[in-house]
Amino acid sequence: MPVTRPQRVVLKKVLDTNAILYLLGGKLTKPLPPAQYFISVISEMELLSYPSLDEAALTQIRSFLSEVRVVELNEQVREIAIDLRRKHKLKLPDAIVAAPALSLQAQLLTNDVKLLRVPGLTGSPLELKKK
């Protein structure tokens, strides 16, 4: 009889843009837990479009982006984002950032209080270092 091994559960987490900035800026009190990490395409665009980025910061961002999966604006994500914006009066970028968490049934890591209050969205704030 073959031995069945329990399947390893891979946690899925979506990072909000502010969470990514805290991570890259060394402001988190502890490392992110092991998981499969995703970001919205809008977070990718926000990160790469800061006018004051120098080469070192751009290299750091590109390295980070190579470690996560970018969720594109497919039909399902668009519909969820539209629904979030209409029902919860979110800003469009926030709705687009949150939609992949619902689409993937993942936890959203964010310090955006408004996103943490959205019913049905599993969110968690990040603990930041004291100044």
Q: Does the residue 87 lie in any domain? A: yes
pLDDT in tens, 101-128: 999 999 999 999 999 999 999 999 999 9
Cα 12 to Cα 26, 37, 65, 100, distances in angstroms: 22, 6, 16, 10
Q: Does the residue 129 lie in any domain? A: no
Q: Does the residue 2 lie in any domain? A: no
Q: What per-residue confidence (pLDDT) applies to 3?
A: 46
Q: Does the residue 18 lie in any domain? A: yes
pLDDT in tens, 3-49: 455 556 669 999 999 999 999 999 999 999 999 999 999 999 999 99
Q: How far apart are CA 131 and CA 129, in angstroms?
A: 6
Q: How far apart are CA 25 and CA 21, in angstroms?
A: 6
Is residue 108 a contact partner of residue 123, using CB atoms and an 8 Å limit? yes
Q: Does the residue 7 lie in any domain? A: no
CATH of the domain at 114: 3.40.50.1010
Q: Does the residue 126 lie in any domain? A: no
Q: What per-residue confidence (pLDDT) applies to 131?
A: 73
Domain count, the chain: 1
Q: Does the residue 127 lie in any domain? A: no
Q: Does the residue 3 lie in any domain? A: no
State which residues form the domain around 71: 12-49+58-121
pLDDT in tens, 45-99: 999 999 999 999 999 999 999 999 999 999 999 999 999 999 999 999 999 999 9
Closest Cα to residue 81, out of 67, 94, 62?
94
